[in-house]
Structures are given as structure tokens and as C-alpha cells.
Structure 1
Amino acid sequence: MRHVVVMAGTGAIGLMAVFAVDLLNFYYISRLKDPNLTAAIGFAGAIGYVQIAVSIGMTIGLGAVIGRLIGARKATRARRLASAFLVVMLAVAAVLGIMTASLATWLLGLLGASGEAQNQAASFLHLVSPALPLVCMGMAQSALLRAVGDARRSMQVTLVGAAVSAMLDPILIFLLHMGLMGAAISTIVSRSVVVLCGYISLRDHYMLERPRLRAIKPATQRIGAVALPAIATNLATPVGSVFVTHFMSRFGLEAISGQATIDRIVPVAFAFVFALTGSVGPIMSQNLGAGRKDRVKEALGASLKLTALCVLLTWAVLALCHGPIIHLFAAKGVAVQIITLFCCWLVASYFFVGLLFVSNTAFNNLGHPLYSTMFNWGRATLGTIPFVWIGAHYGPIGILVGQSLGVVLFGTLAVLTAFRVIQKL
């Protein structure tokens, strides 16, 4: 429990800082009181989550394999494979980022965006998407720091990037009157700072070397065996969100703005739960490499207890503060109903989201990545499409309720399967 709390706690502080800045961005834009801009953030965010999902999937593969090698005391091989796979990660991110920027307007049209909201979202993606390799590199560096047990520096790297963004946002958005483009520039600069700090921190651990061409193939094969299913797994969540955004767009810009507000609150409110998924993985893989099955099971149990505690505390805070939240983000019309329902009731469903995420981490790090793919896509399809389609007949509120019901089923099944996997190690 102590190991999980330390690793997840430091990771949560870093994640919370990053997502708090994202939430602050949304707050600044909302104060401009232009529904086209707040809706543009919602549309651009739905596409951005797909890009981030690919980056996270590659990072999961990197952390799982390197953590297992370190647990087995094979530091030299870990360094060689990590350095080689970073080349692959950067190449994939560059291609994906450029493709997204090129197809931005068309992709936004598929989501239901139109008019000024579509134009603003496309301009944002044209700037931010080509810089996707910076995101990928920053995530990889943070994962390597966690893999060697340096939770403090992993946290500090993300904190520095968040601080830079927090300072630049009001200057670019308000003082220089750059609006959404100012937020995009701030994002790129902060990601660059994260990469620089991550590189400096990793030098002390000798976890990076000049990539060797002959190491790229074995690194891709070994890490890719975990990364590809992890990418497929992580793509499920944003694909499900894209489907929800498409249905929400039928109810106007206010509905999209309400959904965008929730999408910015969730990562901050549940930073600890999300940090668990990145932190408990190396703990499991290291103990698996060391042959300690008992500690693998203990890590999963501790994660589930912490998830329950985090959701209960978050539910209480959001239920009490939903009024000020509505006022802060200048929500109007149906957006007020969406935020109120989420803060007072639907936030409880994130316990089952946490069960699903922690279970997926166990699958990815214990040699069963296809299980996580199956459960995440099950949630994104069978657990989302029919529920949201039926809920849409009752308006935006029905969409959110339907989305929440689907995750209860798949979160429960996933955690039961995770314990069975550990029992059979």
C-alpha cells in the first residue's frame, strides 16, 4: 500500500497540475463568453484524446517491458531497448500529428462541428497536432523515471511544464488577445519544457543512450507486443467519447460546452485514479520480474481501495461545489443541467471507470494485454453505443446517464478477470 500511495501520489500531483492548467485554459476561454470558442475546445479535445491515447499506449508498452527488465536486474538491456523504442515512438507520433492537422476540418465535420466553432477548432489543431512528438517524448520520459522508481522527478517534470503553461496562458489569451491560438502556443511551449526537463532527469539514471539501429527491431518486437494492444485499448475510450460528442452536437453549442466542462473537470478531480494506472504498472511488472506473485496481488488490492476512497471524496466535493462551478464557467441553458447531474450523481460511476483502468494496467503488465483491449472496446461499443443511442431520445441528460450505465457492467467484469489472471500467474 505504501509503495502504491507514494508512486501514485507523486504521479497524481504531476497529472493534476497538467490537467488543472488545461481546466484553467478552458476557464480563460469561457470568460471570453463566446460559445463558439468553448464548443471549439470540446470538438478539438475529442480529436486530441485520440492522439493522446496512441501516445499513452506506446508509453504503457515501454513502461511494462522496461520495468520487468529492471526488476530482473537487466539494466543494460533495459537502457538499450528504451533508447531504440523512443525512435519508433517519435516517428509514429510525427506521422499521426501531421495527418490529424491535414484532415482536421474534415474530422471536425464528422463530429458535427460547423461554422465558426469548426474553424476555431481546426486552427487549434493545425498548431498543436504537429507537436504531438513532444507529448509522446514527455510521456516516455516520465514512464522511464517511474520504471526506475524515481517518482519525485517524474512529478517535477510535469509540474515544471504545468507552471510554464499557467504563466503563459493569461498573457497570450488576454494581454495579447490571441484567444484560442494563445492557448495552443502555450501548450506547445510547455510540452517543450517537459521534454527538456525529462531528458536532464534521466541522465542521472543512465536510462538513455545513443539509439542503435540494430536494437530498433528487437525493441519494436518486444515492446510493441505490449504497446499495440495497449494502443488499441486506449483508443476505445476516445472513440467512445467521439460517439458521445457526435450525439451531443445535435443539441447545440450549449450542450457541447457542458460536455467540454465535464471533460476538463474529470482529469483534475480523478488525477489520483488516473495516476494509479501509470504508477501501479511498474510495481506489478517489477514484482513479476522478481517472482513475487503475492505483491502483485497486494498492489491490485491496494489500488482498488484507493480508487474507492478517491471517488467518495471527489463525489462529496463536487456535489457541494456544483453551484460555484456553474458560475465559474459561465454555463447557460442545458449546460447547467449537464454539470449539475454530473457533479451530484454521475460522478459515482467513475468508481467503475477506475476498476476498469486499474484492471487494464494489470492485464498490460502481467502478459495479457488483449484482455484490456477486449474490455475497453466492449465498454466503448456495447457499453456506450446502445446506451447513448437510447439515452439520446431523452436529450443530453439521457446521453450522460446511458454512458455511465455502460461502464458499471464492464468495470465489474474487468476487475473480476484481473484477480483471476493474478491467481493463475
Structure 2
Amino acid sequence: MAQHAKFTTGSTLRHVVVMTLTGSLGLSFMFLVDFLALFWISRLGREDLIAAVGFAATIQFFLVSISIGMMIAAVALVSRALGQGDPDRAQRIATSAMIYAVAVQGAIAVAVFMLREPLLRWSGAEGAVLDVAAHFLGITVISLPLTALAMSGGAVLRAAGEAWRAMMVTTTGGLVALVVDPILIVVMGLGVPGAAMAIVISRMAMACAGLYWVMGRGLLTRPALYDLRDMAAPFLAIALPAVATQVSTPFGNWVLIRAMSEHGESAVAGLGVAARLQILGFGGIFALSGAIGGIIGQNHGAGLGGRVRQSYLDALKFCAVYTAVIWALMLIFADPLARAFGLGGMAADVVHWFALIGAGSFMFTGALFVANAAFNNLGRPIWATMANWARDGGMMAPLAFGLGAVFAAPGVIAGQALANVLAGALAGWIGWRFVSRGVDRAAHPA
């Protein structure tokens, strides 16, 4: 295995920019699948279908976030092994991590398939919207193991510094969706079931691409039961809190959709479109934890505390510039995009207010995710869990419901923005104190 610790030399800012932008493109292409499905469904001219897919997407975001949490664990352990000059151990960790991810998501897929209607009811779906959402989720949930295979493969590539190949894993799915979405949804007239089938096909393409690249780069080894047993404890020590951290974001989104459902079906449709724009536009922010985890992990494994601190600062700079650019684009294009999705009235207002006040708060969301990357890769994953749940479990509900009661649907968006600002500022400050004072004493999990 001809892999070495690429991030321990050269400009840390360059590593942050390259890894985050490629991670962003890859993640954005993965979420482009959902965005395109929603766009083509909007061509059918029915806000109830948009709302139904929005409810189903909220559940799916929970499930994908579990894969992201396991991906973070894979990045942390593989990058640390490479930083310590032990590529053989990195191979064994990578192989075991991919097996864990597929097995866990397979079990979750079965459970969610059986419980999808109660889950959607708890999210606020009812009547015909509930039926459509349950049908959509019933088709897409079976592809969760494929998502896990694709994302864990991309994580291993990213930990080894294979930025472009990691990006190509999820880009493949987005390119496939570009072709199959309009064919299945519009040309063949399959509507919402066609959108669900397109997602399954695109995830299958991502899984094949991920497996092809990790095997081609010599990043895997023959699976062994003793490796699965020996790697389980260090993997779970990071994966469990990382998963708990990651599912807090979809929980926060679930709170938002429950708060928005108080203001009608049209408001939920608007939030569904705003959520897709949020994930697609701010892919660079959502990619930060995984993208810079390998940089922090390799330098920490090599004992280069100064480079860890500089990487943290460079990531915060990236957040500020990236958010400013995307916020400006949102302000310019949000209203035309709302019209392109056929939204009017309250639905269009929700998209407008997200662009006006919600988008800017992602500078602080980025600070939260940078801090999470430091905590996860420097032996304090529980801190990342606490930081995320402080926002999504502690602040989001009272702010979204409270401001929503005063200012209606725009108040829900304002509640999300305020929670982002408060939690992000606090986590970013704590994270900097940690890397500037305690990184050289941080724990080194086995």
C-alpha cells in the first residue's frame, strides 16, 4: 500500500481548501440527487407532493447522518494510522469500518421500512401527504446499505488524502441522477415513485464507484474476523458519539418541520425547498468535519501540534469566505428558484426569509463543525456530541416554536438562525481553547 501522511507537509490552508472544496462538491452531488428529485416533482405542479417528499427527506437525513458519523470514525482512525507511519493497520481499519457501516445501515433499513408510517406521522405528515411520503420512503430506504458503502469508501479515500477520488464517489451519483430523474419522473410518468427509484439507482452507482476506487488505490485488505473484533472498540469509541453528534442536525431539521407544520402545508413545501437549497449550497460547511478530520488526524498522529492549530484557524477562515459567497448567491437567486419550483404565497416567503436571514448564520454552523472535527480527531468526541445537541436539542425547539408563534413561518427560520449563531460561537471558542492549549495532551485512542 503506497500511502503516506500527505497532510503533515505543505500549506495547511491549501490542504483545508482542497479537501473541503472536493468534499463539498462530492457531498453536494450526493444531495443533488434529492434536489433534482424535488425539482422534477415540482414540475407536476402540486405542493402536496413537494411537502410529502420533504417529510420523507427529513427522515432520510437522519439515516444518512448515521453514515456520516461512521464515516468520521473511519477518517479519524485511518488518518491517524497513516500519520503514525502504519499503512497496514490503516488498511485493516478501513476494511473493518466499511463492513461495520454496511451492516449497521442494513439493520436500520429493515427497521425504518417497518416503522415508516409512524415515523412520518410523528413528523407531522397526514392524509394523502402521509401516503405519498410512506411510499417514497419505502422504496428509497432499501438502498441505505449502498449509501453506507459509498460514504465509507469516500471516507477512507479522504483519510488517505485522495481528495479527487473521494469527490468522484458521490459525484457519480449526482451525474446518474441528472439523467435518470427526468426520464423516470416526467418522461415515463412515474412521478414520486420514479423519484424514489432514481435515488436507488444513483446510490447504486455511488457504491460501485466507492468500492472501485478504494480497491484500486490499495486501501483495503482481506476481511478478517479478528480485525472486526479488535477494531470494534476503538471504532465505536469515536463512531458512537460521532453518530450521536451527526443525528442532532436532522433532529434540529425535524424540529423545524414540526414548527413549520403549524403554519400549513404551503409553509412545509417552502421549507422543503429551502432545506434542499441549504444542503446543496452549504455543502462546504457540511463537509468540513469529514474534510479536515484527516488533516487534523494525520498531524496529530505525527505529533505536529502547531500544524493542528493552524489547520483549525485556516478552516475558520474558509468558513467565513465560503459563507459570504453562498449567502450573496442565495440573496440573488432565492426568489427566482422559488418561482422555478412553482412556489407562491407562504411557501415562497419561507424560501425568501431563509436566503435573507438563515443563510448567513451558516458561518457559525461552520465554526461548530470545525470544532467538532477537532473534538472527534483529538480524543474528545463527546464534546462534539454535547456541542451539537446544545444547538439542536436545547436551543432549536424553543427558538423555532417561540419565534414562530410571534412571527409565523419567517419566525421559524429566524429561530434556526439564532440557534446556529449562539451554538456556533460558543463551540468555536471552546474548540480554539482546546487546540491552542490542550492538543499536545489530547488522548490518543488505540
Q: TM-score range by the shorter chain?
A: over 0.9
1:284 to 2:284 alignment: no
The aligned counterpart of 1:398 is 411
**C-alpha distance in structure 2 between counterparts of 1:354 and 1:17, whole Å:** 19
Q: TM-score, normalised by structure 2?
A: 0.93
**C-alpha distance in structure 1 between counterparts of 2:94 and 2:164, whole Å:** 20
**C-alpha distance in structure 1 between counterparts of 2:216 and 2:169, whole Å:** 14
The aligned counterpart of 1:305 is 317
1:424 to 2:438 alignment: yes
**C-alpha distance in structure 2 between counterparts of 1:253 and 1:385, whole Å:** 20
SS at match of 1:73: coil
Question: How do residues 66-105 of structure 1 correspond to structure 2 at under 5 angstroms?
Answer: 66-105=78-117
Q: Aligned residue pairs: how many?
A: 425
**C-alpha distance in structure 1 between counterparts of 2:33 and 2:96, whole Å:** 32
- Structure 2: which amino acid aligns with 1:181? P
Shift of 1:161: 1.6
Question: How do residues 5-404 of structure 1 correspond to structure 2 at under 5 angstroms?
Answer: 5-394=17-406, 395-404=408-417
**C-alpha distance in structure 2 between counterparts of 1:21 and 1:109, whole Å:** 25
CA contact (8 A) 1:84 1:213 kept: no
**C-alpha distance in structure 2 between counterparts of 1:346 and 1:199, whole Å:** 37
**C-alpha distance in structure 2 between counterparts of 1:228 and 1:54, whole Å:** 9
The aligned counterpart of 1:411 is 424
Percentage identity across aligned positions?
A: 36
CA contact (8 A) 2:335 2:348 kept: no
SS at match of 1:149: coil
224-233 or 89-98, which moves further after superposition? 89-98
**C-alpha distance in structure 2 between counterparts of 1:414 and 1:38, whole Å:** 35
**C-alpha distance in structure 1 between counterparts of 2:250 and 2:168, whole Å:** 27
Shift of 1:206: 1.6
The aligned counterpart of 2:10 is none
CA contact (8 A) 2:312 2:370 kept: yes
CA contact (8 A) 1:162 1:190 kept: yes
365-374 or 320-329, which moves further after superposition? 320-329
Once the two structures are superposed, residues 140-171 of structure 1 have per-residue CA deviations (whole angstroms, 9 ceiling, x without a partner) of 00010111111111112222221111100000
CA contact (8 A) 1:134 1:195 kept: yes
**C-alpha distance in structure 2 between counterparts of 1:124 and 1:264, whole Å:** 17
**C-alpha distance in structure 1 between counterparts of 2:232 and 2:224, whole Å:** 12
Runs of 4+ in 1 over 4 A off after TM superposition: none
Let me know the Cα RMSD of the aligned residues. Answer: 1.2
**C-alpha distance in structure 2 between counterparts of 1:331 and 1:192, whole Å:** 32
**C-alpha distance in structure 1 between counterparts of 2:373 and 2:207, whole Å:** 24
CA contact (8 A) 2:358 2:416 kept: no
**C-alpha distance in structure 2 between counterparts of 1:15 and 1:74, whole Å:** 29
**C-alpha distance in structure 2 between counterparts of 1:21 and 1:131, whole Å:** 13
- Structure 1: which amino acid aligns with 2:234? R
CA contact (8 A) 1:97 1:132 kept: yes
- Structure 2: which amino acid aligns with 1:109? R
SS at match of 2:217: coil
CA contact (8 A) 2:91 2:221 kept: yes
Structure 1: 5+ residue stretches without partners: none
Shift of 1:205: 2.4
**C-alpha distance in structure 2 between counterparts of 1:406 and 1:273, whole Å:** 16
- Structure 1: which amino acid aligns with 2:355? C
CA contact (8 A) 1:82 1:219 kept: no
